[in-house]
Structure 1
Amino acid sequence: MSGVLQLLREDLRDFAGYSSARSTALAGEVWLNANESAWANPADADAACRRYPDPQPQALRARLAALYGCTPEQVLLGRGSDEAIDLLVRALCVPGRDGVLYTPPVFGMYAVSARLQNAPALEVPLRDTEAGLVPDIDAIIATALQHRARLVFLCSPSNPGGLSLPLAQVAQVASALRGQALVVVDEAYAEFADVPSAVGLLAQHENLAVLRTLSKAHALAAARIGCVIADAGLIAALRRCQAPYPIPAPCSALALEGLGEAALARTRERIAWVRHERARLHAALAALPGVRRVYASDANFLLVRFADAEAAFGRLLAAGVVVRDQRAAVLLHDALRITLGTPEQNARVLDALATLEPAA
Structure 2
Amino acid sequence: MSTTLSSDVMQLLREDLRDFAGYRSARSETSAGTVWLNANEAARANQADSGGSLRRYPSPQPEPLRNALAELYGCAPESLLIGRGSDEAIDLLVRAFCRPGIDAVLVTPPVFGMYAVGARLHGARLLEVPLHEGADGFRADLGDIAEIALTQAAKLVFLCSPGNPAGGVLSIEEVLGLARRLSGHALVVIDEAYVEFADAGSIVAGVASQSNVVVLRTLSKAHALAAARIGCAIADARVIEALRRCQAPYPVPAPSAALALSALQADALAATAAVIDEVRRERTRVAARLAGLMEVRRVYPSQGNFLLVRFHDAGAAFEGLLAAGVVVRDMRAMPQLGDALRITIGTPEQNDAMLAALRRIEVAA
- The TM-score range, normalised by the shorter chain, is over 0.9
Task: Specify the alignment match of 2:260 in structure 1.
Answer: 255
1:159 aligns with 2:159: no
Q: Which amino acid aligns with 1:284?
A: R
Deviation, 1:170, is 0.7
User: Match for 2:314: what amino acid?
Assistant: A
Residue 294 of structure 1 is matched in structure 2 by 299
1:288-346 deviation line (CA, Å, top 9, x unaligned): 01000000000000000000101110110011000000000000000000000000000
Equivalence for 1:60: 65
Mapped to 1, the partners of 2:178 and 2:33 lie a distance apart of 50
Tell me the secondary structure at the aligned position of residue 202 of structure 1: helix
What residue in structure 2 maps to residue 190 of structure 1? Answer: 195
CA deviation after TM superposition for structure 1 residue 180, in Å: 0.3
Does the residue aligned with 1:321 lie in a helix, a strand or coil? coil
1:172 deviation in Å? 1.8
1:96-111 aligned within 5 A: 96-111=101-116
In structure 1, C-alpha distance between the alignment counterparts of 2:298 and 2:256, rounded to whole Å: 40
SS at match of 1:22: helix
> Which secondary structure does the structure 1 equivalent of 2:343 belong to?
strand
- Deviation of the 1:202 alpha carbon: 1.1
Q: Is the 1:80–1:226 contact (alpha carbons within 8 Å) kept by the matching residues of 2?
A: yes
Contact kept? 1:60, 1:256, Cα under 8 Å? yes
Q: Which residue in the other structure is 2:137 paired with?
A: 132
Contact 1:289 1:356 in 2 (8 A): no
> CA separation in 2, counterparts of 1:308 and 1:120?
35
Q: Which residue of 1 aligns with 2:236?
A: 231
- What does the per-residue CA deviation read over 1:141-199, in whole Å, with 9 as the maximum and x for residues that have no partner? 11101100000000000000001111022112101100000000000001000211111
Superposed CA deviations along residues 233-263 of structure 1, whole A, max 9, x for unmatched, are: 1111110110000000000000000111111
Amino acid of the structure 2 residue aligned with 1:227: C
5 Å-filtered alignment, 1:75-94, equals: 75-94=80-99
Distance of 1:89 and 1:332 partners within structure 2: 27
Q: Offset of 1:354 from its aligned partner? A: 1.1
- Tell me how far apart the structure 2 counterparts of residues 26 and 60 of structure 1 sit (CA, whole Å): 16
Q: 1:48–1:250: 8 Å Cα contact kept in structure 2? A: no
Percentage identity across paired residues of the two chains: 64
Aligned partner of 1:241: which letter?
C
CA distance in 2, matches of 1:207, 1:282: 37
One-letter identity of the residue aligned with 2:120: R
Q: SS where residue 310 of structure 2 aligns?
A: strand
Residue in structure 2 matching 1:38, options 40, 43, 47: 43
Aligned to 1:266: 271
Aligned partner of 1:285 among 284, 290, 303: 290
Specify every segment of 5 or more residues in structure 2 that has no aligned partner in the other structure, as ranges: 1-5
Worse-superposed segment, 199-208 or 32-41: 199-208
Q: Residues 25-63 of structure 1, C-alpha deviation per residue, up to 9 Å, x if partnerless?
A: 343210000000010010001112110000000000000
CA change 1:26–1:342 in 2 (3 A) is: closer
Contact 1:277 1:343 in 2 (8 A): yes
1:324 aligns with 2:329: yes
Number of residues paired by the alignment? 358
Matched, 1:47 2:52: yes
Per the TM alignment, residue 19 of structure 1 is displaced from its structure 2 partner at its CA by 1.0
Please list every run of at least 4 consecutive aligned residues from structure 1 whose deviation after the TM superposition is greater than 3 angstroms: 355-358
Matches within 5 A, 1:311-350: 311-350=316-355
RMSD in angstroms over aligned alpha carbons? Answer: 1.1
Match in the other structure for 1:242: 247
1:85 CA drift (Å): 0.0
Distance 1:267 1:326 in 2: 28
The farther-off stretch of 15-24 and 152-161 is: 15-24
Which residue, 171, 174, 191 being the options, matches 1:169?
Answer: 174
- Tell me which residue corresponds to 1:118: 123
Letter in 2 for 1:207: N
Q: Unpaired segments of 5 or more residues in structure 1?
A: none
Of 135-144 and 278-287, deviating more is 135-144
TM-score by length of 2: 0.97
Q: What is the letter of the counterpart of residue 244 of structure 1?
A: P
Distance in 1 between residues matched to 2:208 and 2:71, nearest whole Å: 16
Q: CA deviation at 1:357?
A: 4.8
CA distance in 2, matches of 1:179, 1:347: 50
- Give distance in 2, aligned partners of 1:191 and 1:315: 31
What TM-score, normalized to structure 1?
0.98
Whichever residue aligns with residue 111 of structure 2, its letter is V
